[in-house]
Amino acid sequence: MKIFPSLFMAMLATGVIAQTDMQSKLEASLAELSNVRKSISKEKLPMVKGLDALEDQVIDVRMEYQKTMRQLDSRNLDLNNLRSEIKTRQSEKNYISNLLGEYTRNFETRLHIAELDAYGKVIEASALAPENPNLSDGEIFVRQTALVEASIARLQNIVGGELFDGTAAGEDGLVKPGRFALVGPVALFAASDGTLAGIAEQRLGSLEPTVMPFADPANAQRVAKTVENGAGTFPFDPSLGNARKIEETRETIGEHLKKGGLVVWPIVGMFFLCVLVAILKWIQLSLIPMPSSKEVKPLLKAMLYNNHALAEQEAKKIKGPTGKMLRAGVEHSGEPKDLVEEVMYEEMLTTRIGVNKWISFLSVCAAASPLLGLLGTVTGIINTFKLITVFGSGDVKTLSGGISEALITTEVGLVVAIFALVLHAFLSRKAKRIADGMEQYAILFMNRSMRAAPPQEAA
């Protein structure tokens, strides 16, 4: 029992000691905490001030950033506007450049051939400027506008007339130096030696202006004086040479047919045969007498009363194939009806064959001539392709021969076909009229011969 109190006291002493130790540690910790708090209190204010300064700095930086971003956005907008403006100006520049290029091409085509030497350099400079990589846009524009200025000056000069030296060729092809007088669209030329004077025009295939001479020498003298003095009267062609060109294209029928080649001559021969056949056939049909109803009436009346003697006399008075047919009918009037009809039909058939003879030739010509024209068209096209194979398709004048052959043969073939068709219709109608008249009288004859009148009326 004594052990437990001792143990209790030992534990109590130990607890007291531990409590004392913990109390001292607590006090030490509280003292340290107080010191730390004092240290924190001392350092907090500067740090707060420093934080406030940093926050103010952040605000300033943010404001600076926003300002910079606004400036950047504004500059981006200005840059986009500037790009759009540059693109617009570039489009306008390209458009103006294209207009100037087109103006250069049109200006060259509108120049008179006599002016090509005078404006050749400025035209060449303007045409080649856009293709020259060594030139700036400004230099290209200057060269192109130089042509515009030259064209304006040209318009001002030609209103009252412009004189300049040059060369021109005569109809013989000899090129002679002289002087030009350009008045509006008309260019007058007078050679220095006085042997050539007239209106200068462009001839196909020639690089030199060609002087067209006048039929009246007085007109040439007027042109020479006008060019020499710079003023005067001169002949003027309102068509600007087109009337002369149209006159040169006129040709005779023989020249026109000659261009059609070999195939056109059979068509022409067919035409003359058609004309010859038509004339002869018309004469033949016109000479065939056609009796009138008044002439045939006595014969029909005699047949009605069975007066064969009188009918024979009246039949002899009727001329032509109709009379021959009626006489044959009267001669066989006492025989059976079928025999009389066969005899009269034989005469009518013989006449029909005679009047229709050679008329079918016209229908053959009407059908064959377009085919011959088509044959000429094919041969002409074949010749054209042969020329294209040899010379190419650049020279139209070289190809005109084959094209003319193709078109002319078709034209002549159609003309002959239409002409032959009209003649065939006219002559066929005339022949049919003769055959129909014979058939009509044959029917009347048979009707009268088969219907006899009473004997008292015959007396």
Supply the pLDDT for residue 458: 39
Residues 209 and 318 in one domain: no
Asked if residue 445 is part of any domain, the answer here is: yes
Asked if residue 90 is part of any domain, the answer here is: no
Residues 268 and 232 in one domain: no
Residues 320 and 447 in one domain: yes
Asked if residue 345 is part of any domain, the answer here is: yes
Asked if residue 102 is part of any domain, the answer here is: no
Residues 270 and 209 in one domain: no
Check: CB of residue 193 under 8 Å from CB of residue 176. Answer: yes
Residues 364 and 238 in one domain: no
Domain count, the chain: 2
The residue segments making up the domain with residue 393 are 264-458
Residues 171 and 311 in one domain: no
Write out pLDDT tens, residues 356-376: 888 888 889 989 988 988 888
Residues 342 and 275 in one domain: yes
Query: Of 223, 249, 275, at which residue does a domain stop?
Result: 249
Residues 213 and 320 in one domain: no
How far is CA 57 from each of CA 22, 43, 61, 63, rounded to the nearest angstrom? 49, 21, 6, 10
Asked if residue 103 is part of any domain, the answer here is: no
Asked if residue 39 is part of any domain, the answer here is: no
Residues 357 and 449 in one domain: yes
Report the alpha-carbon distance of residue 117 to residue 115 in Å, rounded: 6
Residues 311 and 243 in one domain: no
Residues of the chain with pLDDT under 70: 1-12, 15, 160, 204-206, 215, 237-249, 251, 390-402, 450-459
Residues 282 and 231 in one domain: no
Supply the pLDDT for residue 457: 44
Check: CB of residue 276 under 8 Å from CB of residue 419. Answer: no
Tokens of 305: 């009363």
Asked if residue 122 is part of any domain, the answer here is: no
Asked if residue 238 is part of any domain, the answer here is: yes
Residues 357 and 429 in one domain: yes
Query: Of 191, 219, 249, at which residue does a domain stop?
Result: 249
